[in-house]
Amino acid sequence: MDEVILVCVYYGPNGERLIRRGGKIANMLNCPLHVLTVDPLPEDELDIEKIHYIEQWKEAAKEHNVQEFIIKYNEKRPVAKVISEVAKQKHVTQLVLGQTAQSRWKEITKGSIINVLLNEIPFVDIHIVSVSRELKDQEGFFEKGVRAYLRKDSEGYRLCFNHTLQDVCDGVFYKGIFYKEVGTDFNNGVFKFMKDNHMIEVHVCDDYVKDFLDLIPTAADTEVKS
């Protein structure tokens, strides 16, 4: 029987790692590779952080010759049901997914997605990749992302957390997500935003973005980013 690999990813630092693992297996077996993610929200309700993850996954998918990148938006069914449906449609024989450690009590009370999948698609081999300690530690470098703006002034682009109609009229600003470094009293960290349908990531130092010159709009590009 021909092999077909399906990698399931969800928002977080483990997605690219799962795609790489699936890519290695597909390369060894010389077989098709698919990637699936499931979101209960419609596509137009995704926040910038989720869009950022999807962009990263698509880049990783290109590197590993993924045949199809599947996104199931506005999905109200249990995730396991959606995974099993796609697995049957694509004739999947091996499934790669990640699972963080959970207590035995939580598994008993809420159930395990692995157990559901074993019942739904018993013909599929399941590879479970745990989140590494290194990835967990990296998450701890920044606080949870908050909505923020980069507003142009005489010194460059300044980070702020609110804006007015006058700000929109006065000049260009960018809306995005700010991730503050843990343990700093000032606004130092990373700001992520969309520009020309691409996710841009810049560093913020003491409220200002310093390495921004190539992103500053020209006179012919004064459209307000909102």
Structure tokens belonging to residue 197: 């349908």
For residue 148, the number of C-alpha atoms closer than 13 Å in the C-beta half-sphere is 24
pLDDT score, position 111? 59
pLDDT score, position 31? 96
- Kindly state the percentage of the chain with pLDDT values over 90: 30
DSSP string, 38-84: E-SS-GGG--HHHHHHHHHHHHHHHHTT-SEEEEE-S--S-HHHHHH
Residue 222 pLDDT greater than 60, yes or no: no
pLDDT score, position 170? 60
**In the chain, where the domains are located:** 5-137, 146-215
The stretch 198-210 carries a mean pLDDT of 82
Phi, psi at 57, each rounded to 5°: -65, -40
- Which value, to the nearest 10 degrees, does the dihedral of the CA atoms of residues 206, 211, 214, 217 take? 0
| pLDDT tens readout for residues 58-67 | 989 999 999 9
Length of the chain: 226
Least reliable range by pLDDT among 25-39, 172-186, 208-222: 208-222
- CATH of region 5-137, choose from 3.30.565.10, 3.40.190.10, 3.40.50.620, 3.65.10.10: 3.40.50.620
- The answer to whether 1 and 93 have CB atoms below 8 angstroms apart is yes
More confident residue, 80 or 11: 80
Residue 166 pLDDT greater than 80, yes or no: no
Structure tokens belonging to residue 64: 């590993």
pLDDT band at 223 (very low <50, low <70, confident <90, very high): very low
Alpha-carbon distance 199 to 177, whole Å?
11
Structure tokens belonging to residue 102: 């959970």
| pLDDT tens readout for residues 174-201 | 888 888 887 777 888 888 887 776 777 7
pLDDT score, position 86? 96
* pTM assigned to the model: 0.63
**DSSP-based three-state secondary structure for 199:** strand
